[in-house]
Structure 1
Amino acid sequence: MDPAHESAVVVIDMINTYDHPDAAPLLASVRAVLPSVTRLLERARQRDLPVIYVNDNFGLWRSHHQELLDQALRGPHGDLVEPVRPDDRSLFVVKARHSVFYQTPLDYLLQQYAVRRLVLCGQVTEQCVLYSALDAHIRHYQVAVARDAVAHIHPDLARAALRMMQVNMGADLDDAVAVEL
Structure 2
Amino acid sequence: MVSEDMPGSGDAGERPPGALIVVDMLNDYQHPDADLLVPSVREVLPAVRTAIDAAREGGVEVIYVNDNFGRWRSHHDELLDTVLKGPHADLVEPVAPDDDSLFVVKARHSIFYETPLEYLLRQLGIGHIALCGQATEQCILYSALDAHIRHIDVTVVRDAVAHLHADLADAALRMMRENMGARLEKAADLAF
In the alignment, does 2:68 pair up with 1:57?
A: yes
Partner of 1:100: 111
SS of residue in 2 equivalent to 1:122:
strand
SS of residue in 2 equivalent to 1:177:
helix
Query: Which aligned segments of 4 or more residues in structure 1 are displaced greater than 4 angstroms?
Result: none
Partner of 1:160: 171
Partner of 2:156: 145
Cα distance in 2 for partners of 1:41, 1:174 equals 14
State which of 59, 69, 74 in structure 1 corresponds to 2:80: 69
TM-score normalised to the size of structure 1?
A: 0.97
Cα distance in 1 for partners of 2:190, 2:143 equals 18
Report the alpha carbon displacement of residue 48 of structure 1 after superposing the two structures with TM. Answer: 1.1
**Cα contact 1:173–1:179 (8 A) shared by 2:** no
TM-score normalised to the size of structure 2?
A: 0.91
Cα distance in 2 for partners of 1:112, 1:65 equals 21
Instruction: Extract unaligned runs of 5+ from structure 1.
Output: none
**Amino acid aligned to 1:62:** R
State which of 95, 99, 102 in structure 2 corresponds to 1:88: 99
SS of residue in 1 equivalent to 2:187:
coil
In the alignment, does 2:28 pair up with 1:17?
A: yes
State which of 28, 46, 54 in structure 1 corresponds to 2:57: 46
Cα distance in 2 for partners of 1:43, 1:59 equals 32
Report the alpha carbon displacement of residue 80 of structure 1 after superposing the two structures with TM. Answer: 0.3
Cα distance in 2 for partners of 1:147, 1:107 equals 23
Report the alpha carbon displacement of residue 174 of structure 1 after superposing the two structures with TM. Answer: 1.0
Instruction: Extract unaligned runs of 5+ from structure 2.
Output: 1-15
